[in-house]
Structure 1
Amino acid sequence: MDFNLNDEQRQIYEYGGQLAQSYDNTYWLEHARRHEFPKEMFQQIADDGFLGIMVPEEYGGAGLGMTEMALFMEGTANHGIPLLMMVVGPTMSMAHLATHGTEFHKKELLPAACKGDIQFCFAITEPGAGSNSMKTKTMAKRNGNRFSLSGEKTFITGADVSDYCLVVARTTPLDQVARKTDGFTLFAVDLKKKGVDMQRVRISIPLPEEQWTLFFDDVDLGPEDVVGHVDEGFNILFDSLNPERIVLGALCCGIGRFALNKAVTYASERNVFDQPIGAHQGVQHPLAKAYTNVEMASLMTRRAAWEFDHKLPAGESSNMAKYAAAEAGIEAVDAALQAHGGSGFTEDTGIYEMYPMMRLLRTAPVNRELCLSYIGNKVMGLPRSY
C-alpha cells in the first residue's frame, strides 16, 4: 500500500523486499528460534542508511521523521522481518539524543550508532513500576554535578547487544516534588561502566532479541550523560512512548499482511473436494475480514506518524493505532493458521512463530486495556478509572 507516499517514502516502504533477498523470513526465524541476534542483517540495514532514519544528517543520519520510520518497520514486517531493536534503539533512543543530547551524544555516539558500530536500548520498566511510571524507584542521587545511579530495570530488549542504554530515573524522590511528573531525568548510560550488571529474563517466545533485567549499583554518571535537563525528563519520556506505539503498530500491520499473504497462496493452491479451499467462504471470509482490519489499522498508524511529525498531539491516534494494529495482527495470524490447517503449525510454514509475538504486543509495551482507558478518558471524555 502506497497511499499518498512520495518517491522516497515508497522506496523506504519497499526496502523490506530488497532486504529479504539476503535476509528473509527464514533467516529471521532461524535466529529467533536460537534467540540469537541477527548481527549481519542489522549491519546491512546500517550500511543501507536506515538505522539513522530519524537522526539529522549532520550527525550521520537521514534526517527523516516518524512517518518514514513507521514505513520502514511496516515494510520489513511485510516480508516477515519484525525488528524490535529498531524500536528501542533508532526510534526511542537515537532520535531523542539528536534533539536533547549533549555534544558528546550528538557528535560521537550518534554517528557511530548510525553506522552500526554501537547500539542503544531503552530502560523504563521496573519490577514494581510497569505501566505506572510515576512509581519509578531507580534513583540518580546528586553529588555536586555528578550522579550515583542505583536501581533495577526489567524487560529491557537487547541489553546484551547494546553499548548504551537510555535510562529513566528519578533525580528527585516522588514525595519531594510538587507534581508527580517532576523529578525525572534521562541518562545515556554506558553499559560497560562499573556497577552495571544484567540477568536474562527467559521469554517463551521465539525472538532474536532477548529480554534482560539491568541492575545499577552506584553507577557514576556526570553531566555529559544527562539527556535534556535534570528533573525535566518527563516530557522527553512521553515523546518516546508515542513513537513506540506507532512503530509497533506498523510492525503488527506488516506481520498481519505477511501471514495473510502466505494464507492466500496456500488457500489458492490447496485443493480439497476438487476445488481450492480459498473458494469456500468459511476460509475466505475470515481472511478478508482480517485483511480489512489490518489495512484500517495501517491507516491509523500513518495518521499518528503524520501528527507526530507535524508536532500535533499524537496520543489519541497513537493509542488507537497500537490497539487496532495489535488486535488486527493477532486476528490475521490466527486466520492464516486456521486456513493452513495442520500445516500452519509446522516449522516449514513459519506462521505459528508469529502468533506468540503478536500476542505479546497486545500486552506490551502498553496493554490494550490502558490504550482503551486513554481513549475513553482522554479522547471521549469519560470519567478517569485510575
Structure 2
Amino acid sequence: MSENSEAIREICDSIIKRVDRAYVAECGRKNEMPTKLWQMWIDSGLLAMGLPEEYGGAGGSLYDIILAMDLLHREALLLPLAVPNFMSREPLLRHGSEAQKRRYLPPTATGEEFFSFGITEADAGTNTFKIKTTAIRQPDGSFLVNGSKTYQTAFVESAHCLLVARTQPYDEKNRTAGISLFIVDTKLPGISATKMDIGMYLPEKNYQVYYDDVVIPADALVGQEGRGLSILFDSLNPERLLVAAMNVGQADYCIKRAAEYAKIRAPFDKPIGSYQSIQHPLARAKTYVEAARTMMYLAAEKHDRGENIGLEANMVKILSSEAFKMAAEIAMTTFGGAGVDVAQDILPFFIAAQNNTVAPVNNQIVLSYIAEKALGLPKSY
C-alpha cells in the first residue's frame, strides 16, 4: 500500500466516524446535496486529489480518487456530485488552454465552484452523434447555443457546465465530425432549467436544461472546434471508473446489510443465513464485487500511466453494475417484505442498482463495444 493510499484510508475512516449513513439517506429522500459530507471532502483535501498542485490541487491520481469513492460508498456515504466534478477536469487538463486551466480548475479543488456535465438529450440518448444542441459561431467569434439537455446532475447548483454541442450539421458519412466541447456559465441569459421528478433516493437534483439563443464567448471552446468527441472520451473513460467505485462500494454495503440481517432473522427458529438459498447468492455477489473491484483498480493504474483504457473502462462498467444489481437483489430477497420499508434502507439501493445498468451508459451498448474492440466482431451500433 502506498503512502497516498494509507493517508486516504485514514481520512476516509475519520469521515466515516463523523458523518453517518442516516444523514446521507435523509438527504437522498429529500434529493438534497449532503453539504456536511461535501464539506468534509473539501476540508480533508479529498476534493483536491488528482489535480496538479500548479492548479491548486493536491496532486495524486485517478487511482486515489477511486479509492476514496470506494471506501466511502462501502458505508453508503453517497456523493454523486463528485463524479461530474472530477471527470470534467480531464478534458481541461489535456486540452484546455492555460488560461482555462488557471481560471476553472482551482475552484474544483476548493469546492468554491464545481462543474456539471451536459451531454444527454431526450431524442439522442446513448447515440451522442445525434445530439441536436447547436453552437453556431458568430461573426465576432462567439457562439450562439440553442437546444436542450436532460438528466443533468446539479446543473442549477453548478457554476459551470461542460457542454457537448454540434458546431456543424450531422453527417452520416462522418458521424464524429462537428461535435465540440464548451465551458458554459450556468447563469447566462437564455438558460433555463426545470427540476426533474426522479424516483430515486439520491442526494442530488437532476434537471432538464434549455438553451435559447445563449451567447458564449469564443474562449469557451475547449480544444479544437469539431473535434470534441475524442476530447470527450478523456472524460467518459474516467467517469466509468468513478461510477464503478460507487457501484462496488454500494454493493458491499448491500451485502453487509443482508448478511447481518440473515444472521438474526429466524422465522423458523434458525437464521435464514444458514439456508443455501441465501448464502449462495450472497457469496456469488461478493465474488463479482471483488472481481469488479480488482479490474477497476488495474484500469485506474493503467490510466495513471497514460495508457488508453477504453476497453477496460467499459468492462469495469459491466462488471460493477451487474455486481451491484446482484448484491441489491439478494439484499432485497433477504429482507423480504421489510425491504420495501424505506426505513430499512435497502430499497434505495435496489432502485439505484437497476438504474446503473442503463446509466451513465446502457450495458447493451457497452457489450457491443467490447465485442467490437476485444473480439474483432462487426460494429453493431
Same fold, TM exceeding 0.5? Answer: yes
Q: Give the drift of 1:272.
A: 4.4
Query: 2:357 maps to which residue?
Result: 362
Which stretch shows the higher mean deviation, 343-352 or 232-241? Answer: 343-352
Query: 2:19 maps to which residue?
Result: 23
Query: 1:213 maps to which residue?
Result: 208
SS of the residue 1:363 aligns to: coil
- In structure 2, list runs of 5 or more residues that go unmatched: none
Could you give the per-residue CA deviations for residues 134-157 of structure 1, whole angstroms, max 9, x where no partner exists? 112211111232111111111111
Query: 1:353 maps to which residue?
Result: 348
SS of the residue 2:342 aligns to: coil
Instruction: Please tell me whether the aligned partners of residues 166 and 186 of structure 1 are also in contact (alpha carbons under 8 angstroms).
Output: yes
Query: 2:146 maps to which residue?
Result: 150
Instruction: Please tell me whether the aligned partners of residues 15 and 76 of structure 1 are also in contact (alpha carbons under 8 angstroms).
Output: no
Amino acid at match of 2:64: E
Amino acid at match of 1:230: E
Matched, 1:163 2:159: yes
Sequence identity (%)? 37
Matched, 1:61 2:47: no
SS of the residue 1:362 aligns to: coil
Q: Give the drift of 1:233.
A: 1.6
1:6-21 to 2 correspondences below 5 Å:
6-13=2-9, 15-21=11-17
2 CA distance for matches of 1:142 and 1:273? 71
Query: 1:337 maps to which residue?
Result: 332
- Tell me the TM-score normalized by structure 1: 0.93
Query: 2:94 maps to which residue?
Result: 99
Tell me the C-alpha RMSD between the 2 structures: 1.8
Query: 1:38 maps to which residue?
Result: 34
Could you give the per-residue CA deviations for residues 201-237 of structure 1, whole angstroms, max 9, x where no partner exists? 2111111112111111121112321222222222110
- In structure 1, list runs of 5 or more residues that go unmatched: none
Q: Give the drift of 1:190.
A: 0.5
SS of the residue 2:88 aligns to: helix
Instruction: Please tell me whether the aligned partners of residues 78 and 203 of structure 2 are also in contact (alpha carbons under 8 angstroms).
Output: no
Query: 1:86 maps to which residue?
Result: 82
1 CA distance for matches of 2:51 and 2:94? 9
Given candidates 276, 282, 301, the residue that maps to 1:306 is 301
Aligned in 2, Cα 1:95/1:49: closer, same or farther, shift over 3 Å?
farther
SS of the residue 2:357 aligns to: helix
Instruction: Please tell me whether the aligned partners of residues 252 and 325 of structure 1 are also in contact (alpha carbons under 8 angstroms).
Output: yes
Which stretch shows the higher mean deviation, 342-351 or 319-328? Answer: 342-351
- Tell me the TM-score normalized by structure 2: 0.94
1 CA distance for matches of 2:354 and 2:102? 39
SS of the residue 2:209 aligns to: strand
Given candidates 69, 72, 75, the residue that maps to 1:76 is 72
Query: 1:193 maps to which residue?
Result: 188
Matched, 1:234 2:229: yes
Amino acid at match of 1:156: Q
1 CA distance for matches of 2:99 and 2:379? 42
1 CA distance for matches of 2:329 and 2:173? 48
Aligned in 2, Cα 1:70/1:202: closer, same or farther, shift over 3 Å?
same
Query: 2:112 maps to which residue?
Result: 117
Amino acid at match of 2:17: Q
Query: 1:381 maps to which residue?
Result: 376
Amino acid at match of 1:47: D
Could you give the per-residue CA deviations for residues 252-299 of structure 1, whole angstroms, max 9, x where no partner exists? 100000111112222223344443332222221111111011111111
1:314-325 to 2 correspondences below 5 Å:
314-325=309-320
Amino acid at match of 2:224: H
Could you give the per-residue CA deviations for residues 80-102 of structure 1, whole angstroms, max 9, x where no partner exists? 12221111112x21233233223
Instruction: Please tell me whether the aligned partners of residues 59 and 110 of structure 1 are also in contact (alpha carbons under 8 angstroms).
Output: yes
Q: Give the drift of 1:63.
A: 1.9
Query: 1:204 maps to which residue?
Result: 199
Could you give the per-residue CA deviations for residues 300-345 of structure 1, whole angstroms, max 9, x where no partner exists? 1112212222222211111111011101101111112222233333
SS of the residue 1:353 aligns to: helix
Aligned in 2, Cα 1:273/1:130: closer, same or farther, shift over 3 Å?
closer
